[in-house]
Amino acid sequence: MFTRIAILSLLFSPPIFAEQIPPEVRISVFSTAAYPIQNAQLAHAVHYLDGVEQWEAHFSQTLSSNPAQAEHQAKSLLEAAETQNQLRELYKTYQSVIVGWQNGIRKIPAVLFEHPLVGKSVVYGENDVKKAISYWENWLEQQKREE
């Protein structure tokens, strides 16, 4: 079961630096365009959960307001070679939504930590991956002290 980390209680802990993250820990970030991710290079994967809506909005802007014309335009666009790349991107975007759902992500931004010994933990409400790592590491230290 997921461990929910209470960020407020961890804000007062001394910082631990991200360089100490063990290589077996996988970090995934879940967000939308409204919450740009900082220090994304520290994560293994970044999932933007509003990508489907953005793709559909972009695609629909190219279509006529006339339904018959729009249908014809959509069929032509979907058959075009350059659209195949866009469809692959749409597929990846749906995969991000599925990954978030499978991992129980309830709010965004969210940083998911998957540790082989500790399991899955989520830091909610933080769009800076470096800070989320610090919160997670502080939480781990706190757990060790309580054992």
Per-residue pLDDT of the chain (147 residues; tens, 9 = 90+): 444 444 433 444 444 444 567 889 999 999 999 999 999 999 999 999 998 888 888 888 888 888 899 888 888 888 887 788 888 888 999 999 999 999 999 999 999 999 998 899 999 999 999 999 999 999 999 988 887
Per-residue tokens: 18: 């991200």
Helix axes 81-102, 67-79, angle to 10 degrees: 90
pLDDT at 64: 86
pLDDT at 116: 92
For residue 131, give the amino acid letter: K
* CA gap 8, 6 in Å, rounded: 6
Query: 55-90 b/e with 16+ CB inside 10 Å = b?
Result: beeebeeeeeeeeeeeeeebeeeeeeeeeeeeeeeb
pLDDT at 16: 42
pLDDT at 18: 46
pTM of structure: 0.76
**Closest Cα partner for 129 from 31, 5, 34?**
31
The answer to whether 35 and 108 have CB atoms below 8 angstroms apart is: yes
**Phi and psi at residue 100, in whole multiples of 5°?**
-60, -45
Q: Find the DSSP H helices in 43-123.
A: 51-61, 67-79, 81-102
pLDDT at 71: 87
